[in-house]
Amino acid sequence: MKVAVLGCGSVGSQVVRLLGEQADDLAARVGAPVELAGVAVRRLDAAREVDVPTELLTTDAAALVARDDIDLVIEVIGGIEPARSLILGAPEGGASVVTANKALLAEDGPTLFEAAEKAGRDLYYEAAVAGAIPILRPLRESLAGDKVTRVLGIVNGTTNFILDKMDTSGAGFADALEEAQALGYAEADPTADVEGFDAAAKAAILASLAFHSRVTAADVHREGIADVTAGDVRSARDMGSVVKLLAIAELRTGADGEEAVSVRVHPAMIPRSHPLASVREAYNAVFVESEAAGQLMFYGPGAGGSPTASAVLGDLVTVARNHRQGTRGMGESAYADRAVLPMGETLTRYHVAIDVADRAGVLAAVAQAFAEHGVSIQTVRQEGRGDDAQLVVVSHEATDAALAATVEQLRNMEIVREVTSVMRVEGTEE
Amino acid sequence: MKVAVLGCGSVGSQVVRLLGEQADDLAARVGAPVELAGVAVRRLDAAREVDVPTELLTTDAAALVARDDIDLVIEVIGGIEPARSLILGAPEGGASVVTANKALLAEDGPTLFEAAEKAGRDLYYEAAVAGAIPILRPLRESLAGDKVTRVLGIVNGTTNFILDKMDTSGAGFADALEEAQALGYAEADPTADVEGFDAAAKAAILASLAFHSRVTAADVHREGIADVTAGDVRSARDMGSVVKLLAIAELRTGADGEEAVSVRVHPAMIPRSHPLASVREAYNAVFVESEAAGQLMFYGPGAGGSPTASAVLGDLVTVARNHRQGTRGMGESAYADRAVLPMGETLTRYHVAIDVADRAGVLAAVAQAFAEHGVSIQTVRQEGRGDDAQLVVVSHEATDAALAATVEQLRNMEIVREVTSVMRVEGTEE
């Protein structure tokens, strides 16, 4: 089994290290030796975390992929190009692929799956979602006899670190981001994490697998955490909740009565008793609900060179076993072909905190605004504060459009001084 | 794909129900229809949770297994015989097997694996450990490129319910057991759960897979929870810990310098900050440590007809896919062939609470007893109580034999009134 590794950054170098250190175990588990046949890098003379024999290094990734003797290409470059061309080239040349490239899979997964299937080769990507946590294989295989109804994931370590910091220290977003950057949990340009792009790519991959449908990053409703305030976090705390950035994929009945996929990334309040609430710092976890199994959770490190390399090598062993048997894994299935529900039609719950004039009739007026949009209120908490009062309303489930329209109307009411916090509520029973 | 189900109790009836309800999805995921071809029961006229067409029922399980047209036998009878003979008969007749039978696998797994391998058929058993939680497949496949170093599991819901009740209410063991029985979490004869036999079978299965070695139930050092007192639970609480019945499988270096498997089931104190500490009621969770991936946890319902059936059907889909491709899964691997470390040589930590006479020199004498056996003390807490004082000692790691000998010596010391609590400590760094 000859392996080419494309990219020798934090993940690639750990893959190379483990291929060496675990060589005997890998050979025993596969049933044949696994040989590192080449490593494609951008610069031959760059500093690397591991020593790679010079004769294995090349800057010509395409030529490495095209070599006749390569059985497996491990792509850990990331990004769209040249990764896509290289991944498409591998099965043409007879090689299977293991990749950690969530952005590419979420943008153009079906093209990759089709190329692999057409050539009778494997394409595995456990490392693309939640690092070392085995979640794609359980969704695809362990739960293959069950009906998954909901996936709630904390799949971005950077934003979880920032929100956890805001929760424990009371800091605002900017200070918590600065600390995350100082500690290496956030990049200098934190956009991909903070604005939810990374989580949205993972949400698309999770939704595709869970619901046997094609869901791309463009289908995912996305809101980041840059607007989460210390007040939001305090407000969550007051109601026994915590703010998390969630990747949510669930089956919902659309306006046409058909089951559709709701897939979104946004900050939400979840009760502190929920298993996801105790996921601290940069850890990841994915919570899965299915009809027969009930509630499952998968927890672990969601990033890092070594954990991600563990997931890559797990896929390598599977591909190598398939290769030896002359078979391939099942490939992707999109047979259910479910539609993606527009965010406006998705049922959600809102937590809304409002500063109002403290006078008679205010609560009635606010309640009336909710009622006009057909939104039922679950709880209201009122606190007098000098001249003002604060109302905290938690709604029952309603369409996101109706809830958004309600908040818009509240903002325009004369008795409302300010809508201080609007956030969705997840992880509770209706 | 023709399926025979052996046993139609709480799991079997849910398997039959899901085979019907999910028929379209199963067919799409497998690529061919999955047909229920027969159900073996003890009595044709027994009351059942699901309606099974009369013509599918038989009391002759052996004849059903021997039928030429059966591709897959699902064994959910449990126990050693006739389950073993039936499982051994299936591959001879050309059928693969999915089973939830932990007791049989832990007693005689290798015989079953060899029979399946010889016949070129599959044997899958995800449902045997921790119900619906996907843990065996992640251990066997997702972590196949990594080196697992430790598995800590809460794998018995009954004992977790009892210990959780003792922790939250302060109840003693007998009262908590009674409540568990009243609520249906414990059986009238609770021996298999309370004495750790069930957990020990699961520990053997986990250890075999994690360490690629043959470990049977007889290799597992087993202590149940019947001797856990309200005082132990209080003592754990005082040090910020909680008592859990843990199934532990870890790699340890033996006296000969070779890596060996330590596998055991016993109650232990773990810190409340440990992810396993928040596993409440009858839930299960398995915590896995590996060199590259770090710390992972898998959480969910560990028992129940419907969750267990979900795991069975996940295996069914895998076996059916293999069947269609004319291949089989990798089978068991025991290539590492590691020895099992005797409990006496296993490194553990002890928490020991001692009622002593409150006079000068007592602490020195107690410390001396630990020192004589080469046991290093991590912390001592001393509390005066009238004439007596209580010492709570937590040791560093030492061999279990040295720790047991230390406690034995303490019990015989004149200044020691009573050793009130002895319990191992897990889930902390040394």
Q: Domain A140-301 class?
A: alpha beta
Res A360: pLDDT: 81
Chain A residues with beta carbon closer than 8 angstroms to that of B296? 132-134, 298-300
CA dist., res. B216 & res. B194, Å (int): 20
Would you name the residues of B annotated as active-site residues?
202
To which residue do tokens 């040394």 refer? B430
The whole-number average pLDDT for the span B15-29 is 96
Asked if A299 lies within 8 A of B296 by C-beta distance, the reply is yes
To which residue do tokens 């950035």 refer? A245
A59 touches chain B (CB under 8 A): no
Res A359: pLDDT: 81
Asked if B300 lies within 8 A of A306 by C-beta distance, the reply is no
The domain limits of chain B are 2-131+306-325, 137-299, 343-425
Nearest CB neighbour to A145, from listed B294, B314, B333: B314
CA A342 → CA A249, A294, A423, B381, B392, distances in Å?
13, 27, 19, 60, 60
As a whole number, the mean pLDDT across chain A is 94
- Report the range of poorest mean pLDDT among A66-75, A249-258, A418-427, B99-108: A249-258
Res B401: pLDDT: 96
Residues 6+ apart with CB under 8 A from A27: A33, A34
Residue B374 assigned to a binding site: no
Nearest CB neighbour to A299, from listed B29, B299, B325: B299
Question: pLDDT digit string (tens) for B243-262?
Answer: 999 999 999 987 788 999 99
CA dist., res. B207 & res. A54, Å (int): 40
B160 touches chain A (CB under 8 A): no
Question: For residue A379, what pLDDT band results from cuts at 50, 70 and 90?
Answer: very high
Chain A residues with beta carbon closer than 8 angstroms to that of B292? 14, 18, 132, 306-307, 309-310, 313
Nearest CB neighbour to B137, from listed A138, A317, A321: A138
Q: Residue B13's Cα: distance from chain center in Å? A: 24
Cβ under 8 Å to B: A residues 7-46: 14, 18, 22, 25-26, 28-29
Residue A132: is its pLDDT beyond 60?
yes
Asked if A314 lies within 8 A of B212 by C-beta distance, the reply is no
Question: For residue B359, what pLDDT band results from cuts at 50, 70 and 90?
Answer: confident
Helix (H, G, I), strand (E, B) or coil at A124: strand
Helix (H) or strand (E) holding A209: helix A197-211
Residue B241: is its pLDDT beyond 80?
yes
Residue A354: is its pLDDT beyond 70?
yes
Residue A414: is its pLDDT beyond 70?
yes
Asked if B314 lies within 8 A of A141 by C-beta distance, the reply is yes
To which residue do tokens 């940069």 refer? A282
* Residue (of A132, A133, A94) closest to A116 by Cα position: A94
Question: For residue B386, what pLDDT band results from cuts at 50, 70 and 90?
Answer: low
* Residue (of B221, B227, B245, B234) closest to B353 by Cα position: B234
Q: Do A146 and A292 meet the contact criterion of CB atoms below 8 Å apart? A: yes
* Residue (of B64, B131, B51) closest to B305 by Cα position: B131
Question: pLDDT digit string (tens) for A137-164?
Answer: 999 999 999 999 999 999 999 999 999 9
Residue B413: is its pLDDT beyond 70?
yes
* Shortest Cα distance, chain B CAs vs residue A254, angstroms: 20
Cβ under 8 Å to B: A residues 139-158: 141-147
Residue A114: is its pLDDT beyond 80?
yes
Nearest CB neighbour to B307, from listed A14, A292, A300: A292
Residue B254 assigned to a binding site: no
Asked if A294 lies within 8 A of B306 by C-beta distance, the reply is yes
Res B357: pLDDT: 86
- Report the range of poorest mean pLDDT among A379-393, B288-302, B413-427: A379-393
**What CATH superfamily is the domain B2-131+306-325?**
NAD(P)-binding Rossmann-like Domain (3.40.50.720)
Question: For residue B429, what pLDDT band results from cuts at 50, 70 and 90?
Answer: low
Name the closest residue on chain A to residue B24, using Cα atoms: A336
B295 touches chain A (CB under 8 A): yes
Helix (H, G, I), strand (E, B) or coil at A55: helix
- Report the range of poorest mean pLDDT among A253-257, A339-343, B280-284, B315-319: A253-257
Q: Do B88 and B63 meet the contact criterion of CB atoms below 8 Å apart? A: no
Q: Is residue A147 flagged as an active site residue?
A: no
At residue B41, what are phi and psi to the nearest 5 degrees? -130, 165
Residue A81: is its pLDDT beyond 80?
yes
CA dist., res. B299 & res. A296, Å (int): 5
Q: What is the CA radius of gyration of chain A?
A: 24
As a whole number, the mean pLDDT across chain B is 94
Chain B residues with beta carbon closer than 8 angstroms to that of A307? 292-294
Residue A13 assigned to a binding site: yes
| pLDDT above 70: percentage of residues in chain A | 99
Asked if B138 lies within 8 A of A141 by C-beta distance, the reply is no
Fold classified for B137-299: Dihydrodipicolinate Reductase; domain 2 (3.30.360)
Residue B139 assigned to a binding site: no
The whole-number average pLDDT for the span B170-198 is 96
Structure tokens at A287: 């919570």
B133 touches chain A (CB under 8 A): yes
B138 touches chain A (CB under 8 A): yes
Q: Do A424 and A349 meet the contact criterion of CB atoms below 8 Å apart? A: yes
Residue A385: is its pLDDT beyond 70?
no
Residue A344 assigned to a binding site: no
Nearest CB neighbour to A310, from listed B275, B292, B321: B292
Nearest CB neighbour to B333, from listed A29, A313, A333: A29
Question: pLDDT digit string (tens) for A32-52?
Answer: 999 999 999 999 988 888 889
CA B326 → CA A86, A140, A318, B122, distances in Å?
31, 20, 17, 11
* Shortest Cα distance, chain A CAs vs residue B218, angstroms: 26
Question: For residue A130, what pLDDT band results from cuts at 50, 70 and 90?
Answer: very high
Residue B90: is its pLDDT beyond 80?
yes
Q: Domain B343-425 class?
A: alpha beta
* Shortest Cα distance, chain A CAs vs residue B81, angstroms: 28
Alpha helices in A266-419 (DSSP H): 305-325, 362-372, 400-411
* Shortest Cα distance, chain A CAs vs residue B329, angstroms: 9
* Shortest Cα distance, chain A CAs vs residue B271, angstroms: 15
A344-425: CATH number: 3.30.70.260
Residues 6+ apart with CB under 8 A from B418: B354, B355
For the domain with range A2-131+305-325, which CATH number is right: 3.40.50.720, 3.40.50.970, 1.10.3430.10, 3.40.50.2300?
3.40.50.720
A282 touches chain B (CB under 8 A): no
Cβ under 8 Å to B: A residues 181-200: none
Res A326: pLDDT: 87
Q: Residue A333's Cα: distance from chain center in Å? A: 20
Asked if B134 lies within 8 A of A134 by C-beta distance, the reply is yes
Residue B385: is its pLDDT beyond 70?
no
Residue A429: is its pLDDT beyond 80?
no
Asked if B300 lies within 8 A of A297 by C-beta distance, the reply is yes
Asked if B28 lies within 8 A of A137 by C-beta distance, the reply is no
Alpha helices in B291-355 (DSSP H): 305-325
Cβ under 8 Å to A: B residues 334-353: 335-336
Question: For residue A388, what pLDDT band results from cuts at 50, 70 and 90?
Answer: confident
Chain A residues with beta carbon closer than 8 angstroms to that of B141? 134, 137, 314, 317-318
Asked if B146 lies within 8 A of A293 by C-beta distance, the reply is no
Res B133: pLDDT: 96
Amino acid occupying residue A248: I
* Shortest Cα distance, chain B CAs vs residue A221, angstroms: 27
Chain B residues with beta carbon closer than 8 angstroms to that of A143? 134, 310, 314
The whole-number average pLDDT for the span A88-94 is 93
- Report the range of poorest mean pLDDT among A60-74, A180-194, A339-353, A379-393: A379-393
Res A297: pLDDT: 97
